Structure 1
Amino acid sequence: MPVALSYPGVYIEEVPSGVRTISGVATSIALFIGWAARGPTDRALRLTSFADYERQYGGLDQRTLLGYAVRQFYDNGGSDAYVLRIPPGDEVSAVTAIGDLTITANSPGEWAQDYRVRLTRRPDDATRFRLDVLFHPSADAVVETFENLSMTSGDARFAETVINGRSSFISVAAASATTPANATVDLDATTAGDDGTVLGATDAAFRTALLARFGLGTITDRIDLFNMVCVPGLSEATTIATLQHHCHDRRAFLIVDCPETDTVSTVAASLTGMTGADALNSAFFFPWVRSPDPLQQGALRAFPPCGYVAGVFARTDGARGVWKAPAGSDASVNGAAGLAITMSDAENGQLNPRGINCLRTLPVYGNVVWGSRTLHGDNDRGSEWKYVPVRRMALFLEESLYRGTQWVVFEPNDEPLWAQIRLNIGAFMQNLFRQGAFQGTSPRDAYFVRCDSTTTTQADINLGIVNIIVGFAPLKPAEFVVIKLQQIAGDIPT
């Protein structure tokens, strides 16, 4: 807005450039879903290391594949993940009480039997107290402390206000303003915590609970962004088809495990029901991976490939970009001692044209991911979304442009706006071109951005619509390398 001109002289006015930087979104945030013996059941937690998983969900547990998959993700280059615990429905939270203060474990399960709670009044003020949470298998090690608490609801240090929502172990309820006497009690002294029924990916109850976590207003709907979905061990086609639909809605990519018992001759049948319209946002991997189990003194055990593969996706994204196929000699599977099935080139050649991505054991390179096709990757389908990097690149562009053009809403819909849109999106696409994300030797060959009177008619303007068309030439992996040798006959010309 021009400044008011009142006196003769020079006036300075800052004019906005119209450039609004579009930032590329993250491409390798994983969402792991499964049963765990500990952890919140009403939300997904964001983790940055396996140590975070151990603190929140209790670490590895032989009864579930979830912890192993999360660890394999971080071991293979992953750095950012959400974990969603699926409860069985018959789990119980531990409860204890000290006087009129009821203390409840903040998540259900038997884990609470390892903890105690100690209440200590202040010597100089009997209405104030300290509450300690103790890990008693380690000689009552203090893991949490809340000081100067009060039982009075109007007090700034009211116990419920200070503890609930902040503690990693407990929540409290004060039945009166009476301060309890000093005491130390087991966290499960009144009601013992119970893990309930252990659910695996093959259980119908698990699959029902899993799908209930997706859709409008659900737990996953409240997660701002996730790019990959892993449900370790899930191979039931109907559930996977529904998950593919939800992943399509969220612009996420589903990593599908083959059944553990599949062989080269039977694995193709496992694709039945998984290759529908939404299958372009998913990829299928075979076989399972054999790895030492720390809970069995290093004995080899078979694990589903999704955790390893998600880590390889993340590692490749960080090193080369989402447009690089997460497969090949660099896509090594860290932590793998071998594969459940060792395939030959001929066997791999039977599965690759069907869109089945194989894990291979190769001389020199070891265990690697040796396929990068989506579940639309069958040769007979001829899909434009045949390859994983092409599809994931499109999802990256969609999400980045969706978030980066929110400012357009309610702006005057005319040429000045269209010019700003072309400028901003063009700058974003040009930056990707300079990183080698597209085919072509010039920007004209690599991408285009259109937003003008040819894309947005007067009828669109009357309806409040602005149409933006963005095209890109994706990089496709060199899946087959052909080397032709010819014997030279006669003299070599100089």
Structure 2
Amino acid sequence: MPITPTYPGVYIEEIPSGVRTITGVATSITAFIGRTRRGPVDEPITLNSYSDFERVFGGLWLQSTVSFAIRDFYLNGGSQAIVVRLQEGGATAQLTVPRATAPSTLALVAANEGAWGDNLRGRVDHDVSADMATLLGVAETDLFNLTVLDVQTGALEEFRNLTVVDSPRRVDQVLADRSSLVRVASLPVPATRPDANDADLLADAGNPDPAIATPALEELQKPPFSSDIRSNGVAPGDEGDDGAPLSEPNFIGPGKATAKEGLYALLKTDLFNLLCLPPYSPITDIDSGLITAAASFCEEQRAMLILDPPADWSSKEDAKAGINAGVGTTSRNAAIFFPRLRQPHPLRSNQVDSFVPCGAIAGIFARTDAQRGVWKAPAGLEATLNGVPDLSVKLTDAENGELNPLGVNCLRSFPGVGRVVWGSRTLQGADRLASEWKYIPVRRLTLFLEESLYRGTQWVVFEPNDEPLWAQIRLNVGAFMNNLFRQGAFQGTTPREAYFVKCDSETTTQNDIDRGIVNIIVGFAPLKPAEFVIIKFQQIAGEIAT
């Protein structure tokens, strides 16, 4: 604000420089959607490690293809993942504490659907604080403590000084806010606090006699869990259910987009760059209709879709026939990788089994972005597949040469190197399409620029639309592009050859100004991967003496 001089002297005024730094967005946040053992349903959860996945979603599970994809993602350099759990027809386990035969009990349910809730146990005690009762304005006889144990994972939650009376410590509100294991089954809550049951959570259900030896937690973690060791636990008939395998309607069924469920649960997130949709089950591929919808969704969200080869692509001929018949999309924002991976199955005594490659590929995308930048093709000798001892189909150079011109990215095995990604084309990368979006790094760099500039120019809205604003736009966008040029993101030896930013009276006419529009034109010269290296040799003829 300008200073109004009122007295003789020196006045200090700070003048805005007009510099508004544009920060590049993340490039490898990967979204996974599928069936997991446990966790919130239709809610995107951000994870930063595989241990986060184990804690929230239960880790590897035979019925969950997405769990193995996430494992491969982190094995191959992935950093941040967004996981959306879907389920079909599951049920939550019911837990009554302390005992169903007690005069006053509290009915609880597992926090979410699945048979994992069968391993829950609860205990109530009345070792409460009189001071807390006074602070809450309730009687001491209204307070109780609740302890909940998941005997499979060892997760233990303890909630002290709960009450059934309306107060900040009312049991249903505290559990909904703080517990990841249980919720109150129904409202209103009971009129009186539940009776105490101070028995050990691991005590023998069939024999409450304290003289009976208590099973060790390690033993309780060994399935199956027999009914005679489920003291204070889920009664027969109240068990949870994992439900049925997923199908296309679970992802894009009627009303899913409006409710932001299924595939569209990702609308609740701020940003994702890659999308992986592993098969519905270990024996069922995803439908082409879902691929079409997912590719369209990725185009809207400026993300890339990583597709897995169908299970019946067991040879080069199958892959050629399959890609020629169509996989559900030819989007510039999608890419497919062939063949599948052969890895030891940790839940089947390490017998070698086939797994989809999308998680490992997304991890390599993330690793390459961190080491070299989004403009580097995530392929080549550096793009090694960690934790992959073999591939389901071994391709030769000639076979690779048949698939590459069709837009199928091959995974290869080379002596001394191991398994690597040996292709970097989008589904518009077929030679016959002659698309400008042929290569994955070109498309991903463009998406990165679009998202970064979209977020970095929000300050322009409602600013006076004239030359001072245009100059600020050129300054800030130009600084962002120049920083990328110095990192090697563009072709050219000088900034003039690498990019341009134009925003002036030529791009924004008086008619545009009258309509409230400012036009910014940004051009760049992308780097194309050296897909074919040709070395020419020639013999040197000996000199002829004269």
Is TM more than 0.5 here?
A: yes
Q: Which residue pairs with 1:249 in the alignment?
A: 300
- Where in structure 1 are there 5+ consecutive unaligned residues? 200-205
Kindly state the Cα deviation for residue 411 of structure 1 after the two structures are TM-superposed. Answer: 1.0
> Residue 39 of structure 2 contacts residue 57 of structure 2 at CA under 8 Å; is this kept in 1?
yes
Distance 2:233 2:328 in 1: 52
Distance 1:60 1:335 in 2: 15
Q: Which residue pairs with 1:202 in the alignment?
A: none
SS of equivalent to 2:275: strand
| Percent pairwise identity | 51
SS of equivalent to 1:117: strand
Kindly state the Cα deviation for residue 174 of structure 1 after the two structures are TM-superposed. Answer: 5.1
Q: Which residue pairs with 2:177 in the alignment?
A: 165
Residue of 386, 401, 409 corresponding to 1:357: 409
Alignment of structure 1 residues 112-261 onto 2, 5 Å: 112-122=117-127, 125-137=140-152, 141=154, 143-153=156-166, 155-172=167-184, 173=187, 175-183=189-197, 185-187=232-234, 191-199=238-246, 206-212=247-253, 215=257, 218=260, 219-233=265-279, 234-261=285-312
One-letter amino acid of the counterpart of residue 230, structure 1 = C
Cα distance per residue 1:247-305 (max 9 Å; x no partner): 0000010000111221200112323344756x100001100000111111211111011
Kindly state the Cα deviation for residue 136 of structure 1 after the two structures are TM-superposed. Answer: 2.9
SS of equivalent to 2:352: strand
One-letter amino acid of the counterpart of residue 11, structure 1 = Y
Distance 1:180 1:235 in 2: 48
Distance 1:312 1:492 in 2: 55
1:53 correspondence with 2:66: no
Q: Which residue pairs with 1:28 in the alignment?
A: 28
Distance 1:17 1:215 in 2: 44
- Where in structure 2 are there 5+ consecutive unaligned residues? 98-103, 131-139, 202-231, 280-284
Quick check: which one's strand share is greater?
1
Distance 2:163 2:43 in 1: 29
Cα distance per residue 1:118-176 (max 9 Å; x no partner): 121125533222211112357xx5611112212112x2222222220321111125523
Q: Which residue pairs with 2:425 in the alignment?
A: 373
1:37 correspondence with 2:37: yes
User: CA distance change for structure 1 residues 214 and 336 in 2, over 3 Å: closer, same or farther?
Assistant: farther
Q: Which residue pairs with 2:467 in the alignment?
A: 415
Alignment of structure 1 residues 390-405 onto 2, 5 Å: 390-405=442-457
Once the two structures are overlaid, the 10-residue window that deviates more, 483-492 or 429-438, is 483-492
Runs of 4+ in 1 over 6 A off after TM superposition: none
User: CA distance change for structure 1 residues 331 and 273 in 2, over 3 Å: closer, same or farther?
Assistant: same
1:109 correspondence with 2:118: no
Cα distance per residue 1:430-476 (max 9 Å; x no partner): 11001000000010011111111111111111111111111111111
> Residue 37 of structure 2 contacts residue 59 of structure 2 at CA under 8 Å; is this kept in 1?
no
One-letter amino acid of the counterpart of residue 61, structure 1 = W
Give the TM-score of the pair, scaled to structure 2.
0.85
Count matched residues: 482
User: CA distance change for structure 1 residues 466 and 223 in 2, over 3 Å: closer, same or farther?
Assistant: same
> Residue 105 of structure 2 contacts residue 195 of structure 2 at CA under 8 Å; is this kept in 1?
no
> Residue 215 of structure 1 contacts residue 246 of structure 1 at CA under 8 Å; is this kept in 2?
no
Cα distance per residue 1:297-356 (max 9 Å; x no partner): 211111011011011000000000000000000000000010001111000000000000
User: CA distance change for structure 1 residues 307 and 492 in 2, over 3 Å: closer, same or farther?
Assistant: farther
User: CA distance change for structure 1 residues 489 and 188 in 2, over 3 Å: closer, same or farther?
Assistant: farther
Kindly state the Cα deviation for residue 383 of structure 1 after the two structures are TM-superposed. Answer: 0.3
User: CA distance change for structure 1 residues 340 and 190 in 2, over 3 Å: closer, same or farther?
Assistant: closer
> Residue 338 of structure 2 contacts residue 409 of structure 2 at CA under 8 Å; is this kept in 1?
yes
SS of equivalent to 1:157: coil
**Rg: which structure is higher?**
2
User: CA distance change for structure 1 residues 473 and 188 in 2, over 3 Å: closer, same or farther?
Assistant: farther
> Over the residues paired in the alignment, what is the CA RMSD in angstroms?
1.9
Once the two structures are overlaid, the 10-residue window that deviates more, 95-104 or 182-191, is 182-191
One-letter amino acid of the counterpart of residue 160, structure 2 = E
Distance 1:62 1:454 in 2: 61
User: CA distance change for structure 1 residues 436 and 492 in 2, over 3 Å: closer, same or farther?
Assistant: farther
